[in-house]
Structure 1
Amino acid sequence: MSEARARLLSSATRLFYSEGLHSVGIDRVIADAGVTRATLYRHFPSKDDLLVAYLSAADQAIRAGVEVARTGADSSDDAVRAVARSIADGIRSPGFRGCAFLNAAAEYPDPAHPVHQAVLAHRHWFLRSVTELFEQTGKPAAEPAARHFVMLRDGAMAAGCLSDPAPVCETFLRGVEGLLSYRSESRG
């Protein structure tokens, strides 16, 4: 990746996440990155391309985090817990403004728009990954548990930027523990 592209993506990521996709214009990204308009358009032919690149970078960071959680865990249950703790850590981080993907979906509700398509692709991957994690626990009903996990995560992401994140994260993590223990007991 060229230095100019990296600066553009870094500026866009910070600005889009902190201020919103529609409210940040191309001129603002150009000024913040310290590049020319021609440089921006050489790397990103349209604002939509820049938005999709921003979401792709966020997607890659989350994928890497899930992989670290998955490989660093002592057990399958601990892998689920590690992903949940990673989410809670993100919610507690300074400048947290909710889920970049939920925010993008709210700003781009048209399912045919490339930004919305990037959101759907990420969410499909995330649900599939969480389902695999629950399948690896060997407990029944992995898919419903994964959907429940994703809904808990979505709620925690929304609540975490609207109120004190500490009790939100505590509730989220207790909910994940409940999923793991309920599923243990339901095995029969």
Structure 2
Amino acid sequence: MTDQSQSATRPPAPAKVKILVTADRLFYEDGVHTVGVDRIIAQSHVTKATFYKHYRSKDVLIAAFVAGRDAQARAAVAADEERSNDPAAVLGAIVDGFAAESQRDGYRGCPFINAQMSQLDAAGPVTPAVTAWRTWLRSTLVDLFAKAGSADPQAAADDLLLSRDGAFGGAPVTDPGVADAALHRTLERLLP
């Protein structure tokens, strides 16, 4: 076995995981833009050298935060697809997940939109990470709407995504049940 293949299968260093777990919590609870590297270092109980060994900059850490949230979203949709072969039911489960997220205790908005809006370097790694998640989610929705018999699955996916974004943005300032109901009404209108 070569050194390269060994490193490809090696799990991430515990300090790297600890930094990311701490950043995920702080970024979401307090806002990506308000949490500094020094605070993450202190709460992760690592040295500055260890932090910068694993994450060259705050934007690299933000991109890793986004990638982690992306992996969680993909796993949730995969689980929905495993539970049902009915694309309309899977779409319903996805919308249920959107609604549940926007109503949970400690909700602070969409982590992907928050990260995009808080990046320090517009040419840095955050935009590609958010774009990868958004592209995956949209293509998943297009595929599900096509399988459900939608006449225009691309438009249906766009409409549901914008409804999701509105619910995630509006839930903190209105009755979360209103956002939930609007998401479900949108899906009902988009399904054939």
**TM-score normalised by length of structure 2:** 0.88
CA deviations 1:148-186 (Å, max 9, x no partner) are 110111101101122221221122112111211xxx2xx
CA distance in 2, matches of 1:24, 1:110: 16
**Equivalent position of 2:73 in the other structure:** 62
Q: Which runs of 5+ in 2 are unaligned?
A: 1-11
Q: Which runs of 5+ in 1 are unaligned?
A: none
CA deviations 1:113-157 (Å, max 9, x no partner) are 321222122111111111111111123211111111101111011
Structure-to-structure mapping, 1:72-87, within 5 angstroms: 72-87=83-98
CA distance in 2, matches of 1:8, 1:109: 19
User: Which of the residues 83, 105, 115 maps onto 1:104?
Assistant: 115
RMSD: 1.6
Aligned-partner SS, 2:34: coil
Note if contact 2:150-2:156 (Cα within 8 Å) is conserved in structure 1.
no
CA deviations 1:61-113 (Å, max 9, x no partner) are 11111111122125111011011101111111111111111112222397533
Matched residue type, 2:73: I
Aligned residues: 181
User: Which of the residues 49, 67, 79 maps onto 2:60?
Assistant: 49
Matched residue type, 1:135: A
CA distance in 2, matches of 1:47, 1:104: 11
Note if contact 2:164-2:183 (Cα within 8 Å) is conserved in structure 1.
yes
Q: 1:38 and 2:49 equivalent?
A: yes
**Equivalent position of 1:117 in the other structure:** 128
Note if contact 2:20-2:64 (Cα within 8 Å) is conserved in structure 1.
yes
User: Which of the residues 9, 19, 24 maps onto 1:13?
Assistant: 24
